[in-house]
Amino acid sequence: LKFRLAGYPRKHNEGRVEVFYNDEWGTICDDDFTLGNAHVLCRHLGFVAATGWAHSAKYGKGVGRIWLDNVNCAGGEKSIGDCKHRGWGNSDCSHEEDAGVICKDERIPGFKDSNVIEVRKLMARVGSTTIPQSILYGCLGVGALGTLPHGPGSQARGAQPVHAATGRVAGDTSTATGLAGCGSGLLPPCRLFTERQQLNYRLHSVSCTGTEVHLSMCTFEFYRGNASATCGARMPAVVSCLPGPIFTAGNAHKKKQRQQQQGQPRIRLKGGARVGEGRVEVLKSSEWGTICDDRWNLLSASVVCRELGFGSAKEALTGARMGQGTGPIHLNEVQCQGTEKSLWSCPFRNITQEDCKHTEDAAVRCNIPYMGYENLVRTTGGSWPWDPGVAVGAGEGDQPRWGLVCGEGWGTLEAMVACSQLGLGFANHGLQETWYWDASNVTEMVMSGVKCAGHEMSLSHCQHHGASLSCRNTGVRFAAGVICSETASDLLLHAPLVQETAYIEDRPLHMLYCAAEENCLSSSARLANWPYGHRRLLRFSSQIHNHGRADFRPKAGRHSWVWHECH
């Protein structure tokens, strides 16, 4: 079974429920529908729970079969098929009774979104059976060397030469490399190989402009039936992806140099847990702001991704899926054609205060090259992959020598890199001792002195001691650990309020005993003649807003909180 949300108008976490059964998409009737049904369906869709459901085709009428009717779930079932219902395809409803759900905007940790375009599936469909996933994913990725005709005298459509003199790539390759997470450019090629096997062609006459976000958007023709010999002497199309500066190991210094050469960037991604995803922010009049999600789509998102050096967009996210931004909302109704080099070249409307709020901030997930970084780090211990109890091991080369990371100097920045590398989201904590987690049979320290800035793609890109290990406490209990979370809080002080409300107050000492106990006064207060005299204080109001996607909780557990009579 597959599930998706559809309909209009809606946000990303609500919509008409459609189910893929027996090779056909269909809907669910709202007869006897309950919140328990919605809980089960929202979990199918990757959300933790449901907050409500909708009847009478609130999100529009579907088409095709009505697969389920009189569904009755308790709420804890693993599949909608485990709930009571009239049987698949047995319904007395019309599409005016299509059911919808409203899911809680919190993803199940580690959930793989089934709506994401996967290059491997696409390639199997278009029939390029000789292009292994390692070619599409395994190169470091900014552009395509070109489509390569394979075999003597090949003149297959799309097998155009590279214009070496100008450094430009012949047109048709950009879309394929965009799906593979590459952008555009010409650099020395990565490895290229094919598997000799019986070929079964599906497509021919593929013609792309290079700006499409997906190969299915190009023009092409289908071969009919068993077409193994259809292509004749011509051979299958092959692409080669090229390494790009964003994905070069140890690139922090080069990245800084490049930014200095290019000047300050005018677009960035914020709030994403992984490389190539985040809330889109743009720089206008020396102030960073966000983009409203009205008419936000894959074409505009792909322009953003390519401008930042990634491939085409995998998802164009609405409804502040990557957290709410702050400050102005600079752009609204951005409508790119897909050919633009920069988002600023796209038509857009200037924002007015009534148009949008930060709950409508646009975000993207970009296709990025498969680097294999997650194969160089793994977790041991812990109750869940994303839960407390994750000790980090690291290795180098094709055959990693697994071991532990020294906990000395290990903190939140290092944990951020480790959680991102593991694909487990944000870091809640970086732990210097992990004695209460079983580290299985891994006992040797293989990495020490790790110091990260927080934006690196791999722990090996951070500063570390290399082969010269130096760890004062080498026992298993002093191995580094992480606690990762799919979502995180993001606290922001309302600075203007502090400035607006600040004032000076002379306060008698007898009213400051509590402040003294809390160490809120300067050290010279100890020398005062208590309870006589006064202190001059700077007073102000403050507000701290949480713009993240998770509740803020203090690091200290409730068991360690202390009651203080002053409060």
Is residue 81 one of the residues assigned to a domain? yes
Is residue 127 one of the residues assigned to a domain? no
pLDDT of residue 154: 33
User: What is the C-alpha separation between 564 and 567, in angstroms, rounded?
Assistant: 6
Do 500 and 471 lie in one domain? The reply is: no
DSSP lists the bridge partners of residue 444 as none
Is residue 44 one of the residues assigned to a domain? yes
Let me know: does 83 contact 77? Beta carbons within 8 Å: yes
Tokens 């292009």 — which residue?
A: 131
pLDDT of residue 227: 52
Do 377 and 479 lie in one domain? The reply is: yes
Full residue range of the structural domain in which residue 12 is found: 2-103
CB-based contacts of 448: which residues, under 8 Å, 6+ apart? 405, 406, 408, 464, 465, 469, 470, 471
Three-state secondary structure of 437-452: CCCCCCCCEEECCCEC
Final residue before a domain boundary, out of 103, 128, 154: 103
Is residue 56 one of the residues assigned to a domain? yes
Q: CA torsion sign, 181 to 185 to 191 to 193? A: positive
Final residue before a domain boundary, out of 74, 103, 132: 103
Is residue 143 one of the residues assigned to a domain? no
Tokens 């005299």 — which residue?
A: 533
User: What is the C-alpha separation between 308 and 383, in angstroms, rounded?
Assistant: 37
Do 336 and 416 lie in one domain? The reply is: no
Do 541 and 459 lie in one domain? The reply is: no
Q: How many CB atoms lie within 10 A of CB 544?
A: 9
Do 304 and 350 lie in one domain? The reply is: yes
Listed residue (397, 416, 414, 398) closest to 406, CA to CA: 414
Is residue 338 one of the residues assigned to a domain? yes
What CATH code is carried by the domain that includes residue 312? 3.10.250.10
Q: What angle do CA 558, 561, 562 make, to 5 degrees?
A: 150
Tokens 């790119």 — which residue?
A: 336
Which 8-state DSSP code applies to residue 156?
-
The number of angstroms, rounded, from the C-alpha of 293 to the middle of its chain's C-alpha atoms is 17
CA dihedral 79, 82, 88, 90 (to 10 degrees): -130
| Average pLDDT along the chain, 567 residues, taken 10 residues at a time | 84 89 92 92 92 88 92 91 92 92 87 48 33 31 38 33 28 57 44 49 82 81 65 74 63 49 75 89 91 91 90 88 87 90 89 78 90 81 50 54 86 91 87 72 83 89 88 82 85 89 94 86 89 90 85 80 69
Is residue 255 one of the residues assigned to a domain? no
Let me know: does 170 contact 261? Beta carbons within 8 Å: no
DSSP SS3 for 65: strand
Do 277 and 354 lie in one domain? The reply is: yes
pLDDT of residue 437: 67
Final residue before a domain boundary, out of 84, 103, 122: 103
pLDDT of residue 283: 92
CA atoms within 13 A on the CB side of 452: 24
Q: How many domains does the chain have?
A: 4
**Burial (CB count <10 Å: 0-12, 13-18, 19+), residue 560:** exposed
Which 8-state DSSP code applies to residue 111?
P
Is residue 251 one of the residues assigned to a domain? no
Do 453 and 505 lie in one domain? The reply is: no
**Burial (CB count <10 Å: 0-12, 13-18, 19+), residue 47:** buried
Do 18 and 96 lie in one domain? The reply is: yes
Do 405 and 465 lie in one domain? The reply is: yes
Could you tell me the pTM of the whole model?
A: 0.59
Do 399 and 453 lie in one domain? The reply is: yes
Do 379 and 473 lie in one domain? The reply is: yes
Do 383 and 445 lie in one domain? The reply is: yes
Listed residue (74, 4, 69) closest to 30, CA to CA: 69
**Burial (CB count <10 Å: 0-12, 13-18, 19+), residue 128:** buried
